[in-house]
A and B are shown apart, each in its own frame.
Chain A
Amino acid sequence: MPGGVDIAVAADRPAGGPGELSSSAGSPVRLRRRWLHNRSLVAGGTILIVFAIAGACAPLVAGHNPLAQDAAPLANPSWHHLLGTDQLGRDVWARLVYSIRIDLSVALGAVALPFIAGTAIGLLAGYFGTAVDALVMRIGEIVLAFPFNVLVLALVFVMGSGVVSVLVAFTVTGWISYTIIVRGQVLTERHQEYVLAAQLLGYSRRRILLRHVLPNVVTQAIVYAMSDVVLTTASIVALGFLGLGITPPTPEWGSMISDGTPFLTTHPVLAAAPGVAVVIVGFGLSLIGDGLADLMRIE
């Protein structure tokens, strides 16, 4: 995740008490109705589903091969080329649609991996405490001292550009935010009666951590992940713009913006369109985040 950015925002949200995921608030039907009545969640979900379907059915939606350089370069938008063509004669709309596949999946991966790693580390550090905890927090402080782009660029520099490097870089920089959130929650949960009861029953540590503690501490991390994914998507596009993320000729929003830059005055749509796509996706994701935060607060 980019820097330590939204920790403050995530912390502003009231912490949920134990048992918030294992909701006792009624039947699955009522739960589903509450989800469907949450306007943010429905609107954000719709945006994201539309994008996901467009990405999945890209060959149908795009209408052209995103790599084919068979049209006149820098053509204006027309019925045949909805958003015109770029300087190499590639259909801009097709490239835009195909970019959904790579950008969305890399963004989700770049949030899921630090989420999993950070939650696991936070769980262990919070539960076992002492030396492990101190070491983890020290390493975290060092990671947080590096401005996000600097660390990501340095890591991409070490490993070379490409999807794998981007994912590793986001995991190395992002885990600490999740660890801080989860660790803090575990520290309070650790002494709750249900944990003590599980210990008295002789359950294994693994079972206590995964079956009892985890469901009660993961909510905050999920809410944070939703604001994280918005910034991560924008950052991946920025990396692509710098030429250090996903490598060409794979259609990708960031490199599309960068390719369109020289034609800003004559063909602004080349650089503008991919950015609009990113903003709409980001808006959808942050609506989902708000909706989830609301729901979890109620539950």
Chain B
Amino acid sequence: MVDDVSVATSPRATPGNAAWSRLGAVVRRALQAIPTAIGVTVLTFLLIRLIPGDPARTALGPHASARAVAALRARWGLNQSLPVQYWHYLVHLAQGNLGQSLFYHRPATAVIGSFVAPTVWLIVYSALLSVAISIPVAAAAAVLRGRPFDQGVRLLSQIALGMPQPWLGLLLILGFALKIHVFPVGGFGVGLAGHISAMFLPSLTIAIGIAPILIRALRVELLEVLGADYVTTARAKGLRESRVLLRHALHNAAIRAVTVLGLNIAWLVSGTVVVELVFGLPGLGSLLVTSILQRDFPLVQGLALLFALMVIAVNLATDIARSVLDPRTGLS
């Protein structure tokens, strides 16, 4: 494979050395994520404390007794100094304790745990769908550069970017669930086949939102690759165009897709919040919105933290995956 040529960046590097230095880079990159993660905990910690007035009073509502408010203040440690409160928050976090949900009267971790599955499904499913849509469309647009197909893709991408997600979701429900009964209207489904069918429309909603960004980046990448020397060489060797495209160009395009998807993972995860509500999925996003409406502070705090840590972890994984797929790019 062409990329292998550039693995040995310095003349003295042996395969063993290269592997070690790459491992070192991975560890260094992982360590870089730690300050960000700590910053995220500071922000989620401050979230409750930023609420104007007495958070305990706001949480319990105007009809709560003074004693109940005082008890909650004591439980949340609101009477202590901020650094002390933060330290306790960190210690609890280390123990996996996110506090007690005010609405469910159960530990927040347990509540969140019971809502995780649909969100994880949604993230993975929509990431796969967006790649499955983007690569062939971008490849066709690059090959047919400037032709009506290419211009049509460009036009549709521009339109898709401006679609509000809930609206797109409703249109898909109307078209594929209510008019022709191909998919269920909402819900998580039962069993693997049920999940795959029930989660298709919600995942497609997210995928359509993110595909224009992927297609745009991939098309540029493919146009560059198709003009590269090694592709010309492959053509000169008499390889068929389809083979050139599949074996050489798409490999690089796939790396680019992973990178762009990684860059936009926060956006993708963000989309789950709205889409879960539209499709009535019992996931973390709908839990977040209902917790906000119910002013269930510990749950909101825990969910915000979880979402941010998820993004940090995926960013890290993307960087590592990219450096493995394409040894030329270092870890930043």
Contacts and interface: CB of A to CB of B under 8 A. Distances in A.
B158 interface: yes
Nearest to A236: B164
8 contacts: A138-B39, A144-B266, A146-B308, A153-B288, A230-B161, A230-B162, A265-B174, A279-B162
B167 A154 contact: no
Contacts of A150: 269-270, 273, 288, 303-304, 307-308
Given A230-B162, A265-B174, A275-B171, 7 more contacts: A3-B266, A149-B274, A154-B292, A231-B162, A238-B166, A242-B277, A283-B162
Given A142-B39, A154-B47, A257 B161 contact: no
B40 interface: yes
Contacts of A243: 293
Given A142-B43, A242-B274, A234 B164 contact: yes
A96 interface: no
A169 to B, nearest CB: 13
B73 interface: no
Interface in A1-43: 2-9, 12
Interface in B296-310: 300, 303-304, 307-309
A237 B167 CA distance: 9
Contact of A145 (B217, B263, B293, B311): B311
Contacts of A12: 216-217, 220
Contacts of A219: none
Nearest to A271: B170
Contacts of A227: 161
Contacts of B220: 12
Interface residues of B, number: 55
Interface residues of A, number: 59
A141 B39 CA distance: 9
Interface in B279-295: 285, 288-289, 292-293, 295
A257 B164 contact: yes
CB-based closest 5 A-B pairs: A282-B162, A275-B167, A3-B267, A142-B39, A147-B270
A285 B300 contact: no
B167 A158 contact: no
Interface of B: 35-37, 39-40, 42-43, 47, 50-51, 158-159, 161-168, 170-171, 173-174, 178, 213, 216-217, 220, 260, 263-264, 266-267, 269-271, 273-274, 277, 285, 288-289, 292-293, 295, 300, 303-304, 307-309, 311-312, 315
B274 A238 contact: yes
Interface of A: 2-9, 12, 138-139, 141-142, 144-151, 153-154, 156-158, 227, 230-231, 233-235, 237-238, 241-244, 253-254, 257-258, 261, 264-265, 268, 271-272, 274-275, 278-279, 281-283, 285-287, 290
Contacts of B164: 234-235, 237-238, 241, 253-254, 257, 275, 278
Contacts of A147: 266-267, 269-270, 273, 307-308, 311
Nearest to B214: A8
Contacts of B263: 4, 7-8
B170 A261 contact: yes
Nearest to A260: B170
A138 B32 CA distance: 10
Contacts of B178: 264-265
A266 to B, nearest CB: 11
A283 B300 CA distance: 35
Determine which residue in B35, B171, B174, B263 has the highest number of CB atoms from chain A within 10 A of its CB, and name it. Answer: B263
A229 B51 CA distance: 29
B167 A285 contact: no
A4 B303 CA distance: 20
Contacts of B36: 138, 141-142, 145
Contacts of B161: 227, 230-231, 234, 282, 286
Contacts of A281: 162
A202 B12 CA distance: 50
A290 B212 CA distance: 14
B289 A242 contact: yes
A225 to B, nearest CB: 15
A157 B158 contact: no
Given A146-B311, A261-B170, A5 B267 contact: yes
Contact of A238 (B43, B47, B165, B293): B165
B228 to A, nearest CB: 17
Nearest to A272: B171
